Amino acid sequence: MSGPLSPHSGPARDIATLWWVMFVGAAIVFAVVTALVLVAALRRRSERASESTAQRLVLWGGAIVPLVVLVALFAFVLHTLPATSAAQAKNGKLTIRVIGHQWFWEVRYAAGGVVTANEMHIPVGVPVRVEVRTADVIHSFWVPALNRKIDMIPGRDNELLLQADRAGTYRGQCAEFCGVEHGLMAFFVVAEPRPRFDAWLAGQQRGADGSDAFMSVGCGGCHTIRGTDATATFGPDLTHVASRSTLAAGTLENTPANLRRWIRDPQHVKPGNKMPTLGLDDAQVDEIARYLETLK
């Protein structure tokens, strides 16, 4: 998985460059002002230092240098803005809608009617229009390696453009405090070659067979598994849950042991989440887990 702060797209590189330019500019201003303070504190009055020299030092170091640096930084910010503006999203060749929930991400593909959760697949080199909204409180969608963050505000749709330069898995995170489990609301963007992405999308369009155990304990009252009687939308879509790399929005690696741990006592793993602890016995947990492991 690529480092979250390593830029792998044009907008992300522009943002990273802007950060470093602003850091250097701020460091210059800080160094000059600190030097003036030290000169003023350490310099003793002497006949050799004229008043005009002191005035020039204050004028250049305290006013002109900071002004030039700040104006240059402002101009650089204006130069960077178009690359990260919402208008760029209109150029997307593929549209994906992301809906923030407490505390997971619902991901809907306009092509094929595919719905998944906490993991977004995109083709490498293709501009993807991401439309974001929230189902409850304010969230913030942020994949630092690919673009800026964008808020998900109740009653409003926002959008941005994602385009990965190379294949890889890029971590995203909710960047706006949204409740007790805000810190455990991660997601992943998987960028892959177009043929592999097309194959993944085609596979996600397939439905699944049902399970009596899944329905009998009430799981179908919150989750959807396309092709079965489970059609609720309160929790994440589980149609292809076994194909995802994590569980509970990045909280656990998706392994058989962790899947059973999550089914048995989700409140212990992620306190405050909307999935109740159902008090299932070991046989019920194993039967449901074995069924979910088939949903690839």
Can you give the pLDDT at residue 3?
59
For 91-109, the pLDDT digits (tens) are 778 999 999 999 999 999 9
Q: Are 295 and 203 a contacting pair, CB within 8 Å?
A: no
Q: How confident is the model at residue 79 (pLDDT cuts 50, 70, 90)?
A: confident
How far apart are alpha carbons 218 and 227 in whole angstroms? 17
pLDDT of residue 41: 66
Q: Which superfamily does CATH assign the domain made up of 88-204 to?
A: Cupredoxins -  blue copper proteins (2.60.40.420)
User: What is residue 56's predicted lDDT score, i.e. its pLDDT?
Assistant: 67
Whether this model's pTM surpasses 0.85: no
Reported as type and span, the H/E element at residue 291 is helix 282-292
Tell me: the pLDDT tens digits for 257-291? Answer: 999 999 999 999 999 999 999 889 999 999 999 99
Q: Are 111 and 127 in contact (CB under 8 A)?
A: no
- Give the pLDDT band of residue 7 (cuts 50, 70, 90): confident
What does pLDDT average to over the chain?
A: 87
Could you count the other beta carbons within 10 Å of the beta carbon of residue 227?
12
Say what the pLDDT of residue 75 is.
84
Is a pLDDT exceeding 60 seen at residue 2? no
Q: What is the CATH number of domain 212-292?
A: 1.10.760.10
